[in-house]
Amino acid sequence: MTTDEQWLVNAAAVQEKQATSYENAAFFRALQAFVTQQAKRRESLEGEIDGRSWNHEQW
């Protein structure tokens, strides 16, 4: 997870704790889950690109 992604997750956690309504708290919790999942997908795809670029049989 990049520092920007981690910052966003942390900021959303703070906003979730400060939320005055259930809807807002749920939004910030979902935002944290979304950013975390996107970070995992990005890292996975970066690894796939790296692996494919080093596989000389697929050139």
pLDDT by 10s per residue, the chain, length 59:
999 999 999 999 999 999 999 999 999 999 999 999 999 999 999 988 888 888 777 66
**Model confidence, pTM:** 0.81
- Alpha-carbon gap, residue 46 to 13, rounded angstroms: 27
Do 35 and 5 touch, CB atoms closer than 8 A? yes
